[in-house]
Amino acid sequence: MPITTIANWELRLIELPRSGRAEMRSLWVELFDLTVARSIDSRGCQDLDEARAATRYFLALAQERHAKRG
Q: What is the pLDDT of residues 11-68, one digit of tens each?
A: 999 988 876 665 667 899 999 999 999 999 999 998 899 999 999 999 999 999 888 8
Domain extent at residue 40: 2-69
Q: Which residues contact 38 (CB under 8 A, 6 or more apart)?
A: 32
| Contact yes or no for 16/26 (Cβ under 8 A) | yes
- Measured in degrees and rounded to the nearest 5, phi and psi for residue 28 equal -130, 135
Q: How many domains does the chain have?
A: 1
State the pTM of this model: 0.80
